[in-house]
Amino acid sequence: MKKSIYSILKGTFLVSDDSFKNWRIIIFISVLAIVMIASSHSADKKVYEIARLKNEVKEMRSAFVDGRSKLMRLKMESEVAEVMKEKGIVPSEIPPKKIKVKSQKQ
């Protein structure tokens, strides 16, 4: 056991006669590690993109709600009457009447 630990520490297992199988395993593990690191970076990018898009959706939703409330305020009868009063148009004092037309057959 002592000899194998010294062999690993000195690196003689990499230069011995049967070191080809050791190199294959080391290269395979290195490739797997690189793939794993790349995969985690890709996942992190996606998480950041999702967070950015969620913030953008919140901003757009608040802008939509703000615009909708302004529109509702502008459509109110009192607001329309006030704007028309500035232009010199006032609401009628006399309520509207229905006009009924009787059809005439000729």
* 74-100 average pLDDT score: 88
pLDDT digits 0-9 by tens, 5-53: 877 777 776 777 777 777 888 899 999 999 999 999 999 999 999 999 9
Confidence at residue 102, expressed as pLDDT on a 0 to 100 scale? 85
Distances (CA, A) of 17 to 7, 12, 30, 69, 92: 14, 10, 22, 81, 108
What is the rounded CA–CA span in Å between residue 51 and residue 45? 10
Q: What is the band of 77 on the pLDDT scale with cuts at 50, 70, 90?
A: confident
Percent of the chain residues topping a pLDDT of 90: 45
What is the C-alpha to C-alpha distance for residues 37 and 43, in angstroms, rounded to an integer?
A: 10
More confident residue, 33 or 104: 33
CB 81 within 8 Å of CB 91: yes
Question: DSSP labels for 52-91?
Answer: HHHHHHHHHHHHHHHHHHHHHHHHSHHHHHHHHHHTT---
Structure confidence at residue 106 (pLDDT): 61
Give residue for tokens 């070191």. Answer: 19
Domain boundaries, the chain: 2-86
